[in-house]
């Protein structure tokens, strides 16, 4: 199973930290956020990666290269200076992702989730990992009931930025800028979205405060 790591965002909430550095290259415990993701995924058996680029994307490509130093392969989907949002970015990357389900992971997520367990989550077109609602998203995103993700009728949880997707979800869309959530909701209506709740470690490293808080709890590497 290939992995797409989303790394094209501007990271505006990071303020001056991302003025000259793309958010995926911000460091925690001596390594960049995206390198932590690569290592965690490699340790669980994933070796083929697609990374989308936009804001200061050349710096990410320069930092990671082909992935050879970690024994993995990395291909890049360059969106130019204007990021295409999550849906548009995946659509552009489809030629690199193949015809089978792929794992989608946000570059700025810190978690102990067992990624390898998602290899078997291919019965539906989409499988989402959901978490308890953090303070910055108290209303949640989707509802979960008996392994099914619903638009209503279950417990409302937050999408973790981790999921499994089939390329067919995106092929009918037109190229350009568009979000992911409406596509997920259409697949929910067609009963094509399964899900699970992760109650372990999960941090959306989206602000300087969360970056600093997480960094203060980890040893340097």
Domain positions in the chain? 3-214
Positive/negative CA dihedral, 94, 161, 100, 98:
positive
Instruction: Flag whether pLDDT at 56 surpasses 60.
Output: yes
CATH 3.20.130.10 fits 3-214, yes or no: no
Instruction: Flag whether pLDDT at 215 surpasses 80.
Output: no
pTM: 0.95
178 — pLDDT class (breaks 50, 70, 90)? very high
Instruction: Flag whether pLDDT at 102 surpasses 70.
Output: yes
Q: Where does residue 120 fall: left (phi above 0), alpha (psi -120 to 50 degrees), or beta otherwise? A: alpha
Tell me the pLDDT tens digit for each residue of 107-161: 999 999 999 999 999 999 999 999 999 988 999 999 999 999 998 888 999 999 9
Dist. CA 30–CA 96, nearest whole Å = 30
Least confident interval from 11-20, 29-38, 173-182, 196-205: 11-20
154: tokens are 């279950």
């Amino acid at each position: 199973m290939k992995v797409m790591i989303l790394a094209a965002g501007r990271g505006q909430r990071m303020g001056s930290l991302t003025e000259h550095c793309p958010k995926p290259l911000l460091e925690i415990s001596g390594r960049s956020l995206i390198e932590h993701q690569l290592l965690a995924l490699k340790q669980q058996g994933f070796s083929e990666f697609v990374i989308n680029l936009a804001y200061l994307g050349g710096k990410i490509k320069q930092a990671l290269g082909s992935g050879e130093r970690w024994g993995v392969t990395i291909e890049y989907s360059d969106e130019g200076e204007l990021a295409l949002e999550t849906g548009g970015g995946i659509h552009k990357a489809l030629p690199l992702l193949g015809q089978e389900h792929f794992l989608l992971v946000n570059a700025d997520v810190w978690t102990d989730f067992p990624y390898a367990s998602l290899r078997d989550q291919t019965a539906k077109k989409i499988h989402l990992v959901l978490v308890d609602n953090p303070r910055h998203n108290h209303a949640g995103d989707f509802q979960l009931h008996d392994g099914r993700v619903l638009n209503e009728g279950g417990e409302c949880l937050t999408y973790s930025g981790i999921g499994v997707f089939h390329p067919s979800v995106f092929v009918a869309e037109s190229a350009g800028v568009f979000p992911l959530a409406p596509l997920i909701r259409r697949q929910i209506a067609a009963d094509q979205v399964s899900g699970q709740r992760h109650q372990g470690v999960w941090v959306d490293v989206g602000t300087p405060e969360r970056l600093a808080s997480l960094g203060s709890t980890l040893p340097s590497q």
